[in-house]
Amino acid sequence: MKKYKLLLFDLDDTLLNSDWFKIGLIQTLGIHPITKDLDASLFLAQKLQVSSHLIALLKKRLITPLNFRRARWRHAFSHFGLTVDDKQIDELDTLFVKTGLLCIEQSPTLITMLHELKAHFELAIVTNALYDPRQKVQQMGLSEVFSPESIFHGDELGLRKPDRELYYAPLEQFGHRPEQTLFIGDSWTHDIAGPIDFGMDAIWINARGSKPLTEHKPFAIVSDVMEIRDILLYGEHPTPFNS
Protein backbone atom coordinates (compact mmCIF):
# COMPACT_ATOMS: atom_id res chain seq x y z
CA MET A 1 0.00 0.00 0.00
CA LYS A 2 1.10 3.53 -0.74
CA LYS A 3 2.73 5.11 2.29
CA TYR A 4 0.77 8.12 3.46
CA LYS A 5 2.07 10.53 6.05
CA LEU A 6 -0.92 12.84 6.57
CA LEU A 7 -4.60 11.97 6.93
CA LEU A 8 -7.07 14.82 6.48
CA PHE A 9 -10.59 14.28 7.79
CA ASP A 10 -13.83 16.05 7.08
CA LEU A 11 -15.82 16.50 10.31
CA ASP A 12 -19.61 16.60 9.88
CA ASP A 13 -21.13 13.36 8.54
CA THR A 14 -17.65 11.81 8.54
CA LEU A 15 -16.36 11.74 12.12
CA LEU A 16 -19.54 13.26 13.58
CA ASN A 17 -23.05 12.24 12.55
CA SER A 18 -25.87 14.76 12.34
CA ASP A 19 -27.96 13.43 15.24
CA TRP A 20 -26.63 16.15 17.55
CA PHE A 21 -28.05 18.82 15.22
CA LYS A 22 -31.51 17.30 15.06
CA ILE A 23 -31.81 16.46 18.75
CA GLY A 24 -30.27 19.76 19.81
CA LEU A 25 -32.60 21.78 17.59
CA ILE A 26 -35.73 20.03 18.85
CA GLN A 27 -34.63 20.55 22.46
CA THR A 28 -33.89 24.22 21.74
CA LEU A 29 -37.31 24.75 20.20
CA GLY A 30 -38.94 23.32 23.32
CA ILE A 31 -36.98 25.67 25.57
CA HIS A 32 -37.25 29.05 23.85
CA PRO A 33 -40.48 31.04 24.41
CA ILE A 34 -40.73 31.99 20.72
CA THR A 35 -40.75 28.37 19.56
CA LYS A 36 -41.99 26.27 22.48
CA ASP A 37 -45.55 26.07 21.09
CA LEU A 38 -44.51 25.25 17.51
CA ASP A 39 -44.42 21.78 15.97
CA ALA A 40 -40.74 20.96 16.53
CA SER A 41 -40.60 18.11 14.01
CA LEU A 42 -42.10 20.28 11.28
CA PHE A 43 -39.76 23.16 12.17
CA LEU A 44 -36.77 20.80 11.93
CA ALA A 45 -37.94 19.54 8.54
CA GLN A 46 -38.17 23.10 7.26
CA LYS A 47 -34.76 24.02 8.64
CA LEU A 48 -33.20 21.01 6.93
CA GLN A 49 -34.69 22.07 3.58
CA VAL A 50 -32.03 24.51 2.49
CA SER A 51 -32.64 26.05 -0.93
CA SER A 52 -30.02 25.44 -3.60
CA HIS A 53 -30.03 29.18 -4.26
CA LEU A 54 -29.04 29.93 -0.67
CA ILE A 55 -26.29 27.30 -0.76
CA ALA A 56 -25.00 28.77 -4.02
CA LEU A 57 -24.83 32.23 -2.45
CA LEU A 58 -22.78 30.83 0.43
CA LYS A 59 -20.42 28.94 -1.87
CA LYS A 60 -19.85 32.06 -3.95
CA ARG A 61 -19.30 34.09 -0.75
CA LEU A 62 -22.17 36.41 -1.62
CA ILE A 63 -23.49 35.92 1.91
CA THR A 64 -21.61 35.29 5.14
CA PRO A 65 -22.00 32.08 7.18
CA LEU A 66 -23.80 34.19 9.82
CA ASN A 67 -26.36 35.42 7.30
CA PHE A 68 -26.68 31.88 5.91
CA ARG A 69 -27.61 30.62 9.38
CA ARG A 70 -30.05 33.49 9.85
CA ALA A 71 -31.67 32.74 6.49
CA ARG A 72 -32.25 29.11 7.49
CA TRP A 73 -34.01 30.20 10.67
CA ARG A 74 -36.13 32.75 8.79
CA HIS A 75 -37.13 30.12 6.23
CA ALA A 76 -38.33 27.77 8.96
CA PHE A 77 -40.24 30.54 10.75
CA SER A 78 -41.89 31.64 7.52
CA HIS A 79 -43.59 28.24 7.27
CA PHE A 80 -45.47 29.17 10.46
CA GLY A 81 -46.22 32.67 9.24
CA LEU A 82 -43.83 34.22 11.75
CA THR A 83 -41.32 37.02 11.21
CA VAL A 84 -38.42 37.06 13.66
CA ASP A 85 -35.73 39.73 13.78
CA ASP A 86 -31.98 39.06 13.68
CA LYS A 87 -31.51 39.68 17.41
CA GLN A 88 -34.03 36.98 18.26
CA ILE A 89 -32.58 34.62 15.67
CA ASP A 90 -29.06 35.11 17.02
CA GLU A 91 -30.34 34.43 20.53
CA LEU A 92 -31.97 31.22 19.33
CA ASP A 93 -28.87 30.19 17.41
CA THR A 94 -26.67 30.72 20.47
CA LEU A 95 -29.04 28.62 22.58
CA PHE A 96 -29.06 25.96 19.88
CA VAL A 97 -25.26 25.73 19.83
CA LYS A 98 -25.10 25.44 23.63
CA THR A 99 -27.86 22.83 23.68
CA GLY A 100 -26.74 20.96 20.57
CA LEU A 101 -23.14 20.52 21.69
CA LEU A 102 -24.38 18.76 24.81
CA CYS A 103 -26.15 16.25 22.52
CA ILE A 104 -22.86 15.13 20.96
CA GLU A 105 -22.00 11.67 22.25
CA GLN A 106 -18.53 10.21 22.46
CA SER A 107 -17.76 7.04 20.51
CA PRO A 108 -15.13 4.93 22.31
CA THR A 109 -14.51 2.88 19.16
CA LEU A 110 -13.90 6.00 17.07
CA ILE A 111 -11.62 7.48 19.73
CA THR A 112 -9.61 4.26 19.88
CA MET A 113 -9.29 4.01 16.10
CA LEU A 114 -8.09 7.58 15.75
CA HIS A 115 -5.50 7.08 18.48
CA GLU A 116 -4.29 3.99 16.60
CA LEU A 117 -4.05 5.96 13.36
CA LYS A 118 -2.25 8.80 15.12
CA ALA A 119 0.53 6.37 16.06
CA HIS A 120 1.26 5.91 12.33
CA PHE A 121 0.10 9.13 10.62
CA GLU A 122 -0.29 12.80 11.30
CA LEU A 123 -3.97 13.73 11.51
CA ALA A 124 -5.87 16.93 10.81
CA ILE A 125 -9.42 18.12 10.17
CA VAL A 126 -10.42 20.28 7.19
CA THR A 127 -14.01 21.46 7.40
CA ASN A 128 -16.58 23.92 6.11
CA ALA A 129 -18.57 23.51 9.33
CA LEU A 130 -20.95 26.35 10.16
CA TYR A 131 -20.45 25.87 13.90
CA ASP A 132 -17.12 25.87 15.75
CA PRO A 133 -15.40 22.54 14.96
CA ARG A 134 -13.07 22.83 17.96
CA GLN A 135 -16.02 22.77 20.34
CA LYS A 136 -17.39 19.73 18.55
CA VAL A 137 -14.04 17.94 18.72
CA GLN A 138 -13.77 18.64 22.44
CA GLN A 139 -17.28 17.32 23.07
CA MET A 140 -16.45 14.21 21.01
CA GLY A 141 -13.51 13.46 23.33
CA LEU A 142 -11.01 13.94 20.51
CA SER A 143 -8.96 16.85 21.87
CA GLU A 144 -5.96 14.57 22.41
CA VAL A 145 -6.17 13.45 18.79
CA PHE A 146 -6.76 16.81 17.13
CA SER A 147 -5.03 19.80 18.67
CA PRO A 148 -6.54 23.24 17.90
CA GLU A 149 -3.69 23.82 15.44
CA SER A 150 -4.64 20.70 13.47
CA ILE A 151 -8.23 21.86 12.85
CA PHE A 152 -8.57 23.94 9.68
CA HIS A 153 -11.89 25.74 9.67
CA GLY A 154 -12.86 27.24 6.32
CA ASP A 155 -14.92 30.08 7.78
CA GLU A 156 -12.12 31.04 10.14
CA LEU A 157 -9.62 31.15 7.27
CA GLY A 158 -11.97 32.89 4.86
CA LEU A 159 -11.93 29.84 2.61
CA ARG A 160 -14.26 26.98 1.69
CA LYS A 161 -13.71 23.53 0.25
CA PRO A 162 -13.03 23.01 -2.63
CA ASP A 163 -10.60 25.99 -2.42
CA ARG A 164 -7.06 24.84 -3.09
CA GLU A 165 -5.73 27.04 -0.28
CA LEU A 166 -7.83 25.28 2.33
CA TYR A 167 -6.60 21.82 1.30
CA TYR A 168 -3.01 23.01 1.22
CA ALA A 169 -3.05 24.81 4.60
CA PRO A 170 -2.40 21.59 6.59
CA LEU A 171 0.19 20.43 4.05
CA GLU A 172 2.15 23.61 4.63
CA GLN A 173 1.84 23.31 8.40
CA PHE A 174 2.89 19.65 8.54
CA GLY A 175 5.42 19.87 5.72
CA HIS A 176 3.98 17.13 3.51
CA ARG A 177 3.30 16.90 -0.20
CA PRO A 178 -0.11 16.21 -1.78
CA GLU A 179 0.93 12.70 -2.86
CA GLN A 180 1.71 11.88 0.80
CA THR A 181 -1.78 12.94 1.86
CA LEU A 182 -5.08 11.07 2.06
CA PHE A 183 -8.38 12.92 2.44
CA ILE A 184 -11.30 11.14 4.11
CA GLY A 185 -14.86 12.45 3.90
CA ASP A 186 -18.46 12.06 2.80
CA SER A 187 -18.87 14.84 0.22
CA TRP A 188 -17.97 13.81 -3.32
CA THR A 189 -17.35 17.39 -4.39
CA HIS A 190 -15.50 18.64 -1.30
CA ASP A 191 -13.77 15.53 0.04
CA ILE A 192 -13.10 13.44 -3.06
CA ALA A 193 -13.03 15.44 -6.30
CA GLY A 194 -11.44 18.50 -4.69
CA PRO A 195 -8.51 16.72 -3.02
CA ILE A 196 -7.90 14.51 -6.06
CA ASP A 197 -7.80 17.57 -8.32
CA PHE A 198 -5.00 18.93 -6.14
CA GLY A 199 -2.87 15.78 -6.14
CA MET A 200 -4.11 13.91 -3.07
CA ASP A 201 -5.75 10.53 -2.70
CA ALA A 202 -9.15 10.17 -1.04
CA ILE A 203 -11.43 7.70 0.72
CA TRP A 204 -15.14 8.23 0.20
CA ILE A 205 -17.44 7.64 3.17
CA ASN A 206 -20.51 6.71 1.17
CA ALA A 207 -23.07 5.79 3.82
CA ARG A 208 -26.06 6.37 1.52
CA GLY A 209 -24.83 4.35 -1.44
CA SER A 210 -24.74 7.44 -3.66
CA LYS A 211 -23.44 7.49 -7.22
CA PRO A 212 -20.21 9.36 -8.02
CA LEU A 213 -20.80 12.76 -9.59
CA THR A 214 -17.65 12.77 -11.73
CA GLU A 215 -15.01 10.40 -13.12
CA HIS A 216 -12.61 10.93 -10.19
CA LYS A 217 -11.32 7.66 -8.74
CA PRO A 218 -10.95 7.53 -4.95
CA PHE A 219 -8.46 5.20 -3.31
CA ALA A 220 -11.30 3.41 -1.52
CA ILE A 221 -15.04 3.57 -0.89
CA VAL A 222 -16.47 2.60 2.51
CA SER A 223 -19.89 2.90 4.13
CA ASP A 224 -18.57 3.84 7.57
CA VAL A 225 -15.47 5.66 8.72
CA MET A 226 -14.52 2.74 11.00
CA GLU A 227 -13.75 0.66 7.90
CA ILE A 228 -10.64 2.74 7.16
CA ARG A 229 -8.84 1.19 10.14
CA ASP A 230 -8.12 -2.14 8.52
CA ILE A 231 -7.36 -0.54 5.15
CA LEU A 232 -4.78 1.86 6.55
CA LEU A 233 -3.28 -0.18 9.39
CA TYR A 234 -3.44 -3.73 8.07
CA GLY A 235 -3.42 -3.29 4.32
CA GLU A 236 -6.88 -4.76 3.78
CA HIS A 237 -7.71 -4.49 0.10
CA PRO A 238 -10.04 -1.50 -0.36
CA THR A 239 -13.31 -1.67 -2.26
CA PRO A 240 -12.43 -1.09 -5.95
CA PHE A 241 -13.82 1.99 -7.61
CA ASN A 242 -16.26 1.43 -10.44
CA SER A 243 -17.21 4.54 -12.39
Q: In tens digits, what is the pLDDT along the chain, a chain of 243 residues?
A: 568 999 999 999 999 999 999 999 999 999 999 999 999 999 999 999 988 899 889 888 899 999 999 999 999 999 999 999 999 999 999 999 999 999 999 999 999 999 999 999 999 999 999 899 999 999 999 999 999 999 999 989 989 999 999 999 999 999 999 999 999 999 999 999 999 999 999 999 999 999 999 999 999 999 999 999 999 998 876 665 554
Q: Are residues 152 and 213 in the same domain?
A: yes
- Asked if 12 and 68 sit in the same domain, the reply is no
pLDDT of residue 215: 95
Q: What's the pLDDT score for residue 243?
A: 45
Q: Which of 101, 131, 146 is the last residue of a domain?
A: 101
Residues 184 and 211 in one domain: yes
| Model pLDDT, residue 1 | 53
Residues 202, 194: Cα–Cα separation, whole Å: 9
Q: Are residues 160 and 216 in the same domain?
A: yes
Q: Are residues 95 and 140 in the same domain?
A: no
What is the pLDDT, as a whole number, of residue 59? 82
- 129 & 183 share domain: yes
- What does the pLDDT read at residue 234? 87
Closest CA to 63 of 72, 54, 75: 54
Domain span at residue 169 reads: 6-16+106-234
Q: What are phi and psi of 153, to 5 degrees?
A: -100, 120
Q: Of 72, 101, 130, which closes a domain?
A: 101
User: Do residue 183 and residue 152 come from a single domain?
Assistant: yes
* Pair 93, 69: CB distance under 8 Å: yes
What is the tally of structural domains in the chain? 2
Q: Are residues 10 and 30 in the same domain?
A: no
